Amino acid sequence: MRALIVEDDPLLADQLARAMASAGFVTDRAADGIQGEFLGATESYDVAILDLGLPGLPGVEVLTRWRDGGITMPVLILTARGDWTDKVAGFRAGADDYAVKPFRLDEVVLRAQTLIRRAAGHARSVIPAGRLRLDSQLGVITLDGVALKLTAFEARILTYLIHHQNRIVSRTELSEHLYQAETDRDFKSIEVVIGRLRRKIGGGMIETRRGEGYVLRTQG
């Protein structure tokens, strides 16, 4: 999963990025509203964590521009304690959830995971996918009840496919949710990792649709 963190406090932004990375996220960061609005409008993210008190462009305005531009990614807003007005403005602009500063980092990670899961149409934290199960809170994927030994890159690919099971995921879409904004996106590496995943979960589950992408097939 790929997350955008828009936060002008460098210490808090670094803490959030580390906490999200520990939960398996690839993160991009923006230190002001102008950069944050641009990244959210031009890159593909599974979730955004957006501070409302930003320099350059207020967080509410960033969110308003995203929603007006058709950007539908889930957005978790960060608000100051007791600042009810900002919270209401954030929800009116299209926020999906909020966290009040100071907050526990694991709470923000959990809320972000929940937003992604709900956006993909999954109500529970454990997502079934045929013989696979993804515990989105623990970050564990099991096959027939046994935890899979996966590299970080393998886990990111399989997690994304589980969230979007039984539909075609193009190589471009997959790469957009695996790499940071400044990173070269290597389709050949994805092909190699897909091959390794097939050997670990069984060759019949991940189909390659030539010229289209991949399908994690969990239905007949």
User: Tens of pLDDT along 151-178?
Assistant: 888 998 999 999 999 999 998 888 888 8
Q: How confident is the model at residue 219 (pLDDT cuts 50, 70, 90)?
A: confident
CB atoms within 10 A of CB 46: 23
Pick the CATH number of 126-216 from 1.10.10.10, 1.10.8.420, 3.40.50.300, 1.20.140.10: 1.10.10.10
Q: How far is it, in rounded angstroms, from Cα 37 to Cα 117?
A: 23
- DSSP H or E segment with residue 4: strand 2-6
User: Tens of pLDDT along 59-112?
Assistant: 999 999 999 999 999 999 998 866 778 888 999 999 999 999 889 999 999 999
Weakest mean pLDDT among 7-21, 29-43, 72-86: 72-86
pLDDT at 105: 95
Fold classification of 2-119 (topology level): Rossmann fold (3.40.50)
pLDDT at 96: 93
The tokens describing 40, both together, are: 């959210």
| 73 contacts 40 by C-beta, under 8 angstroms | yes
Task: Give counts: helices (H), strands (E), the chain.
Answer: 8, 11
Closest CA to 23 of 108, 121, 131, 133: 108
Q: How confident is the model at residue 220 (pLDDT cuts 50, 70, 90)?
A: low
pTM for the structure as a whole: 0.75
Q: Name the average pLDDT for the chain.
A: 90
Q: How confident is the model at residue 118 (pLDDT cuts 50, 70, 90)?
A: confident
- Asked whether residue 193 carries a pLDDT value surpassing 70, the answer given is yes
Q: How confident is the model at residue 201 (pLDDT cuts 50, 70, 90)?
A: very high
Whether the domain at 2-119 and the domain at 126-216 fall into the same CATH topology: no
| 95 contacts 76 by C-beta, under 8 angstroms | yes
The structural domains of the chain, with segments of one domain joined by +, span 2-119, 126-216
pLDDT at 29: 97
